């Protein structure tokens, strides 16, 4: 249309034109908007409900097309109304670049209330984001007095198998509902229903905590499930609370009776409230779950199903009265970590008839969860499904390594077609064997469902080496399988406990793969609760092994190492504040059990599962003195205390710990090091720990590193380290200039090595370097798990060194970070990507016919120091332009074969 014609346009056409223009322009404006705020998190979660943190922290990240963008100021506002009509708190415009874990500073929050918040930001280019989209959070109950429901248990004598009790109650609600919120927990495990539908998509609730001190409750929004006539239903299982737990056949660790607590809070449109409570108006009965136990599995009789039991109108004439328990509410806390949810699913890749004639389905992945199935048959037909991780060398189903855990399902059919999945158990398996099945097994009717804590996936590592990529896959699956509300050592045998040593060894790797911030925050609280009065930290958390099972070096140090890792990775200062006392107490324990600062008392696991050849006539087994190890971890924990005290501004403590560290190191030198710098244990772990924790004076370090290298060579270039030495082995080699050797170890395919299990077809990390020997022999069945993440700690070196992404310790949480890719080992490509609280970091390098390129992605509001492998800055280009002329980066210099530059946010491609 010509401009002159404009004037002649009739008003209606003009309106239409303007409307069309507006429709076109609005998305364009937001597309070109310079600065935007996304991912509003309250306490690490997006729109959490049922949170009892009284001073929550807010995190957001910024997006901008412009390079070098930093936040200059922010403003937060909070309201109880979604349209922000009345403000509960506004921060005002705060000149600050803080966008992570900003504390709420308004008046005290109230229980059971929904809050809405927004943030707007200003950047260093003079841009402003405007108000963000709205984030929300709903508080749980802050106070025990907020509760009024009764703990409800079984009203009749329990049968021997401890069948799962079913509970029900009907209620009507005639007014218009504004919101309905369910608060639920149990001593035991629960599944709850409203009008026949399961409440929530989480499983194995309420999860596992130090139950004697605290039990988490869950909060669910069930607004859309409430009708005028309703039924609530609850089923219970024994779970961790009173089922079999630990490897000594014990049960009833926390109590011998199960019960639940529930409040359904109805808020009506007219402003009134009503609560439907668990109380003596409920009734109970037995149903089809004849037995349910974490280790042993389930026995289920579908003929005993009670159709409609959890719906309104059900005939409950033979249901019995319940019993009220007097537990009170003191131990109740809101759930802090992500609940266990269903994740990936797998169909069988093969149906196998083993040499023994067993019918076996192979799901192709060692995973943790259960199998859902559909079967058809006659009422009373019965079959057994057993779970296993491996087949033995003849190809038969192998369950010996499960020890006393039966890990089976015994299912009795009702008439016709039916579907089923377990309720209160989980299995670690890749294979299932089906015995006594009448009729044909149809593989497609069986689905393996992975269950684990619903942590956000944050990391990606990929490379040009297929076996290393499989190793990364195995590391991640080791984590998936063992981050099931607590970090377990293994998920399949009669153990599945929160072993502290395994957790500390793997915590940094874990934090690359998934966001484990809330997961470990919750677990560390249990650690503190289970910590002994004298400061000793138990071997497992939650502790079910008794008071004496505590204080092993490298295990108990989870108390210091993990909070510090969480601070490094997430920039969370509060976790240091909250754990400080526990950290102090653990270090205090070591100190008070030392003589002249030498800690050589007590029981220690030592360098667990280090390499020990069968026929060891020449001292080839890599035995490291346990007290030497203890002294190294003593120093390491004290070092962490020095850092922590500094961060928290506790100057006096810092000074004391500095003095203590000197004494601990002196004692080490005196007891374990010859004047020429030889360690009394001539093992890789001894040298690795001494070097990594700076136990030796500078002047001795080079020689010690050489001894380490010689030792590795003396085993034909093999590692011999166990749980404690392995995580640091390649880090130490890299630090002292032996990257080449680190690569050789990484790529070793003969055991002991990381890749050996991969070449044997592993899909997870094994507990032992030689869990299955090359000839197929299974090693030490009494302690041999094929899903044990500890040795997966090499993942940290792969991300930090090979891909080269690491936070600057002075600016934790990746506010400032380093990208320093490591070339070598024949790799032609490596990529690391990490979702941080600032956004995604990427470091991806390639060698294409000798042509090197490095792509780096730096989130807004962060800065990176990038090391480009090149000897001279004059040859390095960024996006095809010489870096010396670039406006958007600063050349910091040349260093050991790298050109060092500093960059702000944006995507950069460097070539040379
Ligand atoms: C084993 C566990 C765990 C280890 C302890 C010492 O039973 O599986 O991995 O930390 O022993």
Distance 260 CA to ligand 1 centre (A): 32
Distance 495 CA to ligand 1 centre (A): 9
Annotated catalytic residue within 170, 298, 389, 495 = 495
Residues 852 and 825 in one domain: yes
φ and ψ at residue 179, rounded to 5 degrees: -155, 150
Report DSSP letters for 526-541, one per residue.
HHHHHS-TTSPPBSBS
Cis peptide before 542 (omega within 30 of 0): yes
Identify which of 247, 404, 501 to mutate to test ligand 1's pocket (most ligand atoms within 8 A of the CB).
501
Block residue for tokens 């993440």: 789
C-alpha span between 504 and 508 (Å, rounded)? 8
Residues 600 and 716 in one domain: yes
- Rounded average pLDDT over 571-585: 98
Q: Report the greatest alpha carbon distance in the chain.
A: 104
Domain that holds residue 828: 805-911
Enter the tokens of residue 75.
């403003």
C-alpha span between 294 and 246 (Å, rounded)? 11
Determine whether the shortest distance from the Cβ of 789 to ligand 1 is under 6 A: no
The number of beta carbons lying within 10 Å of the beta carbon of residue 652 is 8
Whether 2 is catalytic: no
Burial of residue 696 (number of CB atoms within 10 Å: 0-12, 13-18, 19+): buried
Q: What are residue 237's DSSP bridge partners?
A: 189
Distance 610 CA to ligand 1 centre (A): 13
Determine whether the shortest distance from the Cβ of 608 to ligand 1 is under 6 A: yes
The per-residue pLDDT for range 583-621, each reduced to its tens digit, is 999 999 999 999 999 999 999 999 999 999 888 888 899
Residues 277 and 163 in one domain: yes
Q: What are residue 841's DSSP bridge partners?
A: 834
Nearest to 132 by CA among 284, 30, 278, 57: 30
Give me the CATH number covering residue 756: 1.50.10.10
Burial of residue 386 (number of CB atoms within 10 Å: 0-12, 13-18, 19+): buried
Residues 607 and 662 in one domain: yes
Query: What Cα–Cα distance (Å) separates residue 292 from each residue in 164, 296, 425, 895?
Result: 7, 7, 7, 61
The pLDDT confidence band at residue 11, using thresholds 50, 70 and 90, is low
Distance 605 CA to ligand 1 centre (A): 9
pLDDT at 820 over 60: yes
C-alpha span between 402 and 431 (Å, rounded)? 13
On whether the CB atoms of residues 536 and 603 are closer than 8 A, the answer is: no
On whether the CB atoms of residues 90 and 372 are closer than 8 A, the answer is: no
C-alpha span between 489 and 503 (Å, rounded)? 8
pLDDT at 4 over 70: no
C-alpha span between 641 and 621 (Å, rounded)? 34
Annotated catalytic residue within 298, 338, 767, 844 = 767
The per-residue pLDDT for range 631-663, each reduced to its tens digit, is 999 999 999 999 999 999 999 999 999 999 999
| Pairing, β 215-221 against β 177-187 | antiparallel
Q: pLDDT averaged over the chain?
A: 95
Distance 775 CA to ligand 1 centre (A): 26
Cis peptide before 11 (omega within 30 of 0): no
Give me the CATH number covering residue 877: 2.60.420.10
C-alpha span between 724 and 741 (Å, rounded)? 20
Nearest to 292 by CA among 363, 341, 236: 236
Q: Report the run of H or E that residue 435 belongs to, with start and end.
A: strand 427-435
463 SS3 class: strand
Determine whether the shortest distance from the Cβ of 397 to ligand 1 is under 6 A: no
Enter the tokens of residue 100.
């992570």
The pLDDT confidence band at residue 669, using thresholds 50, 70 and 90, is very high
Enter the tokens of residue 742.
């680190």
Position 666 scores a pLDDT of 98
The pLDDT confidence band at residue 870, using thresholds 50, 70 and 90, is very high
Identify which of 493, 502, 780 to mutate to test ligand 1's pocket (most ligand atoms within 8 A of the CB).
502
The number of beta carbons lying within 10 Å of the beta carbon of residue 539 is 22
Residues 797 and 878 in one domain: no
Distance 109 CA to ligand 1 centre (A): 43
Whether 495 is catalytic: yes
pLDDT at 50 over 50: yes
Determine whether the shortest distance from the Cβ of 369 to ligand 1 is under 6 A: no
The per-residue pLDDT for range 527-565, each reduced to its tens digit, is 999 999 999 999 999 999 999 999 999 999 999 999 999
The number of beta carbons lying within 10 Å of the beta carbon of residue 8 is 7
Report DSSP letters for 32-47, one per residue.
H-SEEEEEEEETTBSS
C-alpha span between 632 and 650 (Å, rounded)? 24
| Pairing, β 486-487 against β 397-398 | unpaired
Nearest to 192 by CA among 261, 139, 112, 242: 261
pLDDT at 230 over 80: yes
Domain boundary at 803, 826, 854, which? 803
Determine whether the shortest distance from the Cβ of 506 to ligand 1 is under 6 A: no
Determine whether the shortest distance from the Cβ of 766 to ligand 1 is under 6 A: no
Percent of the chain with pLDDT over 70: 96
Position 21 scores a pLDDT of 53
Determine whether the shortest distance from the Cβ of 494 to ligand 1 is under 6 A: no
Determine whether the shortest distance from the Cβ of 502 to ligand 1 is under 6 A: yes
Enter the tokens of residue 739.
């990257």
Position 20 scores a pLDDT of 56
Distance 369 CA to ligand 1 centre (A): 21
Position 888 scores a pLDDT of 87
Listed in sequence order, the residues at least 6 apart from 357 whose beta carbon sits closer than 8 Å to its beta carbon are none
Enter the tokens of residue 897.
């074969």
Domains contained in the chain, number: 6
Position 17 scores a pLDDT of 54
Residues 751 and 650 in one domain: yes
The number of beta carbons lying within 10 Å of the beta carbon of residue 470 is 17
The pLDDT confidence band at residue 29, using thresholds 50, 70 and 90, is very low
Report DSSP letters for 792-804, one per residue.
GGHHHHIIIIII-
Report DSSP letters for 269-282, one per residue.
TTS-EEEEE-STT-
Position 12 scores a pLDDT of 55
Determine whether the shortest distance from the Cβ of 61 to ligand 1 is under 6 A: no
Nearest to 771 by CA among 492, 538, 558: 492
Q: What are residue 778's DSSP bridge partners?
A: 772
SS3 sequence of 893-905: EEECCEEEEEECC
Determine whether the shortest distance from the Cβ of 338 to ligand 1 is under 6 A: no
Domain boundary at 119, 139, 159, which? 139
Going by CA atoms, what residue is nearest to atom 3 of ligand 1?
489
Listed in sequence order, the residues at least 6 apart from 757 whose beta carbon sits closer than 8 Å to its beta carbon are 474, 751, 765, 766, 769, 771, 772
Residues 561 and 661 in one domain: yes
Determine whether the shortest distance from the Cβ of 743 to ligand 1 is under 6 A: no
Identify which of 608, 768, 785 to mutate to test ligand 1's pocket (most ligand atoms within 8 A of the CB).
608
- Rounded average pLDDT over 821-830: 98
The crossing angle, in degrees rounded to 10, of helices 466-482 and 739-747 is: 70
658 SS3 class: helix
Percent of the chain with pLDDT over 90: 94
| Pairing, β 359-377 against β 416-420 | antiparallel
Going by CA atoms, what residue is nearest to atom 9 of ligand 1?
489
Identify which of 489, 501, 550 to mutate to test ligand 1's pocket (most ligand atoms within 8 A of the CB).
489
Residues 653 and 552 in one domain: yes
Going by CA atoms, what residue is nearest to atom 6 of ligand 1?
605
Residues 772 and 760 in one domain: yes
pLDDT at 22 over 90: no
Determine whether the shortest distance from the Cβ of 605 to ligand 1 is under 6 A: yes
82 SS3 class: coil
Query: What Cα–Cα distance (Å) separates residue 559 from each residue in 239, 576, 620?
Result: 26, 11, 33
Residues 319 and 416 in one domain: no
Residues 385 and 475 in one domain: no
Enter the tokens of residue 833.
């990507």
Q: Report the run of H or E that residue 168 belongs to, with start and end.
A: strand 165-172
Going by CA atoms, what residue is nearest to atom 5 of ligand 1?
499
Residues 441 and 575 in one domain: no
Determine whether the shortest distance from the Cβ of 489 to ligand 1 is under 6 A: yes
Atom of ligand 1 nearest to the CA of 608: 6
C-alpha span between 361 and 434 (Å, rounded)? 8
Determine whether the shortest distance from the Cβ of 744 to ligand 1 is under 6 A: no
The per-residue pLDDT for range 483-515, each reduced to its tens digit, is 999 999 999 999 999 999 999 999 999 999 999
Atom of ligand 1 nearest to the CA of 489: 9
pLDDT at 198 over 60: yes
The per-residue pLDDT for range 707-752, each reduced to its tens digit, is 999 999 999 999 999 999 999 999 999 999 999 999 999 999 999 9
Query: What Cα–Cα distance (Å) separates residue 343 from each residue in 335, 369, 447, 493?
Result: 20, 9, 12, 22
Domain boundary at 453, 480, 500, which? 453
């Amino acid at each position: 249309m010509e401009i002159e014609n404009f004037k002649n346009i009739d008003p209606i056409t003009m309106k239409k034109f303007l409307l069309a223009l507006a429709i076109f322009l609005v998305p364009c404006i937001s597309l070109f908007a310079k600065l935007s705020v996304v991912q509003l998190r309250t306490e690490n979660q997006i729109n959490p409900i049922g949170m009892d943190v009284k001073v929550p922290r807010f995190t957001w990240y910024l997006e901008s097309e412009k390079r070098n963008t930093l936040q200059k100021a922010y403003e937060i506002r909070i309201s109880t109304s979604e349209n922000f009509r009345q403000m509960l708190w506004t921060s005002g415009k705060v000149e600050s670049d803080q966008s992570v874990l900003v504390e709420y500073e308004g008046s005290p929050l109230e229980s059971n209330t929904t809050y809405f918040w927004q943030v707007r930001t200003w950047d260093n280019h003079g841009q402003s984001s405007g108000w963000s989209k709205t984030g929300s959070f709903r508080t749980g109950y802050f106070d025990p007095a907020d509760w009024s429901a009764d703990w409800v248990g079984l009203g009749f004598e329990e049968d021997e198998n401890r069948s799962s009790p079913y509970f029900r109650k009907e209620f009507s609600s005639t007014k218009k509902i504004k919101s309905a919120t369910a608060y639920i927990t149990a001593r035991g495990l629960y599944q709850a229903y409203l009008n026949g539908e399961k409440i929530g998509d989480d499983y194995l609730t309420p999860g596992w905590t130090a139950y004697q001190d605290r039990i988490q409750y869950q909060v669910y929004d069930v607004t859309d499930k409430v009708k005028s006539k309703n039924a609530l239903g609850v089923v219970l299982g024994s779970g961790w609370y009173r089922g079999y737990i630990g490897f000594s056949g014990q049960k009833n660790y926390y109590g011998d009776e199960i019960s639940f607590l529930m409040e359904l809070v109805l808020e009506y449109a007219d402003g009134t409230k009503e609560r439907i409570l668990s109380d003596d108006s409920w009734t109970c009965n037995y149903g089809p779950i004849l037995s349910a136990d974490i280790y042993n599995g389930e026995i289920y009789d579908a003929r005993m199903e009670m159709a409609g039991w959890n719906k309104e109108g059900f005939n409950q004439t033979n249901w019995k009265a319940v019993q009220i328990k007097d537990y009170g509410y003191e131990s109740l806390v809101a759930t802090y970590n992500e609940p266990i949810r269903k994740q990936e699913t797998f169909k069988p890749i093969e149906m196998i008839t083993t040499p023994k004639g067993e019918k076996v389905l192979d799901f192709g992945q060692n995973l943790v969860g259960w199998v859902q199935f559909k079967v058809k048959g006659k009422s009373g037909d019965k079959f057994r499904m057993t779970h296993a991780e491996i087949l033995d060398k003849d190809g038969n189903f192998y369950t010996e390594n499960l020890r006393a855990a039966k890990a089976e399902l015994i299912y009795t059919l009702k008439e016709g077609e039916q579907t089923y999945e377990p309720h209160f158990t989980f299995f670690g398996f890749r294979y299932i064997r089906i015995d006594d099945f009448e009729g044909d097994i149809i593989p497609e009717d069986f689905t393996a469902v992975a269950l684990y804590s619903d942590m956000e996936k944050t990391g990606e590592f990929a490379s040009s080496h297929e076996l290393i990529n499989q190793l990364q896959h195995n590391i991640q699956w080791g984590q998936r399988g063992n981050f099931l509300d607590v970090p377990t050592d293994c998920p399949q045998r009669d153990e599945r406990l929160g072993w502290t040593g395994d957790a500390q060894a793997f915590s940094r790797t874990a934090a690359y793969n998934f966001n484990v911030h809330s997961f470990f925050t919750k677990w560390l609280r249990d650690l503190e609760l289970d910590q002994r009065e004298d400061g000793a930290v138990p071997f497992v958390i939650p502790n079910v092994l008794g008071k004496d099972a505590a204080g092993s070096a490298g295990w108990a140090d989870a108390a210091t190492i993990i909070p510090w890792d969480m601070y490094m990775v997430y920039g969370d200062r509060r976790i240091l504040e909250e754990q400080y006392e526990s950290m102090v107490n653990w270090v205090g324990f070591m100190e008070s059990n030392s003589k002249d600062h030498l800690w050589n008392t007590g029981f220690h696991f030592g360098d667990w599962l280090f390499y020990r050849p069968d026929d060891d006539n020449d001292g080839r087994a890599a035995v490291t003195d346990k007290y030497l190890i203890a002294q190294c971890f003593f120093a390491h924990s004290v070092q962490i205390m020095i850092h922590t005290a500094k961060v928290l501004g506790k100057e006096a403590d810092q000074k004391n710990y500095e003095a203590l560290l000197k004494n601990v190191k002196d004692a080490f030198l005196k007891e374990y090091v010859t004047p020429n710098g030889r360690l009394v244990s001539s093992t890789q772990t001894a040298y690795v720990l001494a070097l990594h924790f700076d136990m030796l004076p500078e002047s001795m370090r080079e020689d010690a590193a050489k001894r380490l290298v010689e030792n590795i060579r003396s085993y034909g270039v093999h590692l011999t380290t166990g749980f404690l030495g392995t995580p640091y082995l390649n880090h130490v080699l890299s630090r002292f200039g032996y990257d080449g050797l680190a690569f050789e170890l990484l790529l070793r395919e003969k055991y002991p090595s990381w890749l050996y299990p991969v070449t044997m077809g592993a899909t997870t990390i094994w507990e032992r370097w030689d869990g299955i020997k090359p000839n197929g022999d299974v090693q030490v069945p009494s302690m041999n798990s094929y899903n044990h993440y500890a040795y997966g700690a090499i993942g940290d070196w792969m991300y930090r060194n090979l891909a080269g992404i690491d936070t600057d310790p002075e600016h934790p949480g990746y506010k400032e970070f380093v990208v320093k890719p490591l070339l070598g080992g024949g790799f032609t490509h490596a990529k690391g990507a990490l979702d941080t609280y600032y956004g995604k970091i990427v470091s991806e390098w390639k060698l294409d016919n000798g042509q090197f390129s490095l792509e780096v992605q730096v989130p807004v509001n962060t800065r990176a120091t990038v090391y480009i492998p090149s000897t001279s800055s004059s040859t390095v280009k960024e996006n095809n332009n010489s870096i010396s002329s670039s406006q958007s980066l600063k050349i910091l210099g040349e260093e050991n074969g790298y050109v060092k530059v500093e960059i702000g946010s944006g995507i950069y491609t460097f070539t040379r």
